[in-house]
Amino acid sequence: MKNVRRFIIMGLFALMLAVSFTACSKNDDGNVDRNNDKDSSSDIVNIGVTDSLSSVNPLLQDGTEVVKYTTSLQFLPLVELNKDLEFVGQLAKDITTEDNKTFIIHLNEDAVWSDGEKVTSEDVVFTYLLWTSPEIGSVGMSMEKIEGTGDDGYAPQGASSISGVVALDEHRVQITTKTEMALHSFKNIFGRYILTLPEHILRDVPRENLLSYEWFNAPTVVSGPYFIKDVDLNHYVTMEANENFFLGAPKIKNLNIKVVTASQLLAGLRSSEIDLVQQTTGAILQEDYDSVRKLDNIKVYDGTPVTNQSIFFNTERVTDPRVRLAILYGIDRQTILNDLMKGQGEVVEGFFASAGPFYDENVTPIPYDPEKAVQLLSEAEADGWDKSTQLTFYVNSGDTTFVQIASYIASTLGELGLNIQVNTVDISSLLSTAGTGDFDLLAVQYTYTPVDPYTDISWLLSEGGWTRYYREEIANALHITQVTNDMDEAIRQYRIVTDYVQEEAPMISVYIISALGAVNNRLENAVPDVYGTFINVHEWEINNK
């Protein structure tokens, strides 16, 4: 069996190395071909991403980083994480609390919209009302936690106010939650993902029209450094500088989000058709890492190792924990990391990467043990599990490296008697499938915010989350992490979560990725990392010398 696995790995290497590296550069799809017109493109910066966008409407945040960062370039978040995992102010100077239930948003008094109007508390209140409006029906971002909303996160039909969102004065907003919430969780959910919209521009638009409102494809008023000028969600977003950006007019006048395949990134970086690849929005192929590092025109950055290549089970379909554990024991994670990922990352158990503050170094990942896997499958079969059942395994087609790894996983599990069918779909379809639960296994690169693991875990490990898995012991432990200010106690409670993940396997961490970022030498002041890349985008500068 070991020799068969090694043969499969070598075959995968050969297959991955055969992928075409040729990049497209069509002038009629929003992309820039510098080889055709170097003068006209000298003031344009192209950011290469490998996932298409589901929307550029801030009310349709889908949790993907490419949508979050693209929309944030127009409409600033209240706060953002920098590369050192510290929250820094954007529209807000700070967010404070004394009791973990009442939060005060302190807006930056210098913040203005691009038309010169001040950003005020009314804009923030207006935005919260939109998120909780049943007319829009776009509840997300844990709005059910806000006082004055129902259990479904909706405010009453036609509500012009909710009790949990109050403007104290022109630059302070008070948000009250139904239960305690750690400040870092509040900042991550409501500070980073709720993007404030201009009340004076959108207040007269019927709420039910806002989700499909064309204005968002080319907004006339923004708070961020860039305006969107043109959008093709599958190919590009073209942007133009907001000269009235209150933090300073961007030095780069034209910025493009350029959607390409992972196999096109190397050629795009080499030809300077792509200027920057950020670690969570552009997946440079692992087999291309060495080639990218050798490019004379490119500087590379190893990203903070926090992105988790996760496999989620729908536990309502794969109900026997012994089957799920057999799959965990049957995946040679260390070999995958060493051979296919070239050691660029780490193997951990559950949700916690070593770079995060809640990582427990005493947790030992479950080792590869095919004999144990066979034993667990035999026990499950003796109790009625049907060994011939085909398990559907959904994978993001845009992550070509993991598509190959998924095939390897399916093959090795097939040696153990499991029938795994790999289905590759684009990221939007993958997230839709995750939401409907029409899968047995589903893999996605998931960046659990290291400073706020609660938000993702509490949802994923719930009856309404992707895993459909719930344990009262986990819910209680997670609650304690939100009311304690003792870091050691929080780590102890998160350890309870990890123990259950090891014992019942509602999800598997295949590996943590230390992804590669890259930037063209002509682009100054730009440092790609998992967090903080775009905080200073207005200070990026082109050096054509």
In this prediction, residue 544 has a pLDDT band, given cuts at 50, 70 and 90, of confident
pLDDT for 227-249, tens place per residue?
999 999 999 999 999 999 999 99
Q: Is 13 helix (H, G, I), strand (E, B) or coil?
A: helix
> Does some domain include residue 182?
yes
Provide the residue type at 37 as one letter: D
CA distance 76 to 225: 8
- pLDDT at site 11: 41
Q: What percent of the chain has pLDDT over 70?
A: 92
3-state SS string for 153-185: CCCCCCCCCECCEEEEECCEEEEEECCCCCHHH
Residue with tokens 């039909």: 157
pLDDT for 277-329, tens place per residue?
999 899 898 889 999 999 999 999 998 888 899 999 999 999 999 999 999 99
In this prediction, residue 4 has a pLDDT band, given cuts at 50, 70 and 90, of very low
Q: Is 106 helix (H, G, I), strand (E, B) or coil?
A: strand
**Looking at the structure, do residues 249 and 288 belong to the same domain, yes or no?**
yes
> Does some domain include residue 12?
no
> Does some domain include residue 9?
no
3-state SS string for 297-364: CEEEEECCCCEEEEEEECCCCCCCHHHHHHHHHCCCHHHHHHHHCCCCEECCCCCCCCCCCCCCCCCC
> Does some domain include residue 69?
no
> Does some domain include residue 534?
yes
> Does some domain include residue 460?
yes
**Looking at the structure, do residues 179 and 247 belong to the same domain, yes or no?**
no
**Looking at the structure, do residues 317 and 457 belong to the same domain, yes or no?**
yes
> Residue 368: CB partners within 8 Å, gap ≥ 6?
329, 330, 331, 332, 333, 334, 335
Residues 307, 280 contacting (CB under 8 angstroms): yes
Element (H, E) at 145: none
pLDDT for 347-370, tens place per residue?
999 999 998 899 999 999 999 999
> Does some domain include residue 45?
yes
**Looking at the structure, do residues 238 and 343 belong to the same domain, yes or no?**
no
**Looking at the structure, do residues 174 and 188 belong to the same domain, yes or no?**
yes
For strands 307-313 and 102-107, give the pairing.
Answer: unpaired
Residues 285, 265 contacting (CB under 8 angstroms): yes
CATH number at residue 167: 3.90.76.10
pLDDT for 160-182, tens place per residue?
999 999 999 999 999 999 999 99
In this prediction, residue 15 has a pLDDT band, given cuts at 50, 70 and 90, of very low
Residues 345, 305 contacting (CB under 8 angstroms): yes
In this prediction, residue 435 has a pLDDT band, given cuts at 50, 70 and 90, of very high
**Looking at the structure, do residues 253 and 399 belong to the same domain, yes or no?**
no
Q: Give the distance, in angstroms, between the CA of residue 508 and the centroid of all CA atoms in the same chain.
A: 17
Domain with 237 in it: 30-58+224-303+515-542
Listed residue (255, 204, 244) closest to 32, CA to CA: 255
**Looking at the structure, do residues 309 and 450 belong to the same domain, yes or no?**
yes
> Residue 31: CB partners within 8 Å, gap ≥ 6?
24, 25, 46, 235, 236, 256, 258, 273
**Looking at the structure, do residues 145 and 92 belong to the same domain, yes or no?**
yes
- pLDDT at site 42: 66
- pLDDT at site 335: 96
**Whole-prediction pTM:** 0.79
Beta strands in 171-275 (DSSP E): 172-176, 226-232, 236-241, 254-259
Q: Which residue has the higher pLDDT, 544 or 481?
A: 481
In this prediction, residue 36 has a pLDDT band, given cuts at 50, 70 and 90, of very low
The count of domains in the chain is 3
**Looking at the structure, do residues 85 and 54 belong to the same domain, yes or no?**
no
CATH number at residue 51: 3.40.190.10
The pLDDT of residue 76 is above 70: yes
- pLDDT at site 364: 95
pLDDT for 169-225, tens place per residue?
999 999 999 999 999 999 999 999 999 999 999 999 999 999 999 999 999 999 999
pLDDT for 443-480, tens place per residue?
998 888 899 999 899 999 999 999 999 999 999 999 99
Which of 210, 233, 266 terminates a domain? The answer is 210
The pLDDT of residue 396 is above 90: yes
State the sign of the Cα–Cα–Cα–Cα dihedral 334, 505, 513, 275: positive
Listed residue (319, 421, 445, 511) closest to 64, CA to CA: 445
**Looking at the structure, do residues 393 and 421 belong to the same domain, yes or no?**
yes
The pLDDT of residue 129 is above 80: yes
CATH number at residue 353: 3.10.105.10
The pLDDT of residue 23 is above 90: no
**Looking at the structure, do residues 509 and 525 belong to the same domain, yes or no?**
no
The pLDDT of residue 123 is above 90: yes
- pLDDT at site 505: 98
Mean pLDDT of 127-137: 93
Which of 163, 178, 210 terminates a domain? The answer is 210
User: Which range, of 9-18, 91-100, 126-135, averages the lowest pLDDT?
Assistant: 9-18
For strands 441-447 and 390-396, give the pairing.
Answer: parallel
**Looking at the structure, do residues 357 and 280 belong to the same domain, yes or no?**
no
Mean pLDDT of 101-113: 98
Residues 507, 501 contacting (CB under 8 angstroms): yes
> Does some domain include residue 456?
yes
* Mean pLDDT rounded to a whole number for the chain: 90
CA distance 449 to 422: 28
For strands 165-169 and 172-176, give the pairing.
Answer: antiparallel
Listed residue (30, 34, 36) closest to 49, CA to CA: 30
Residues 500, 471 contacting (CB under 8 angstroms): yes
Task: Write out the two tokens for 58.
Answer: 């801030």
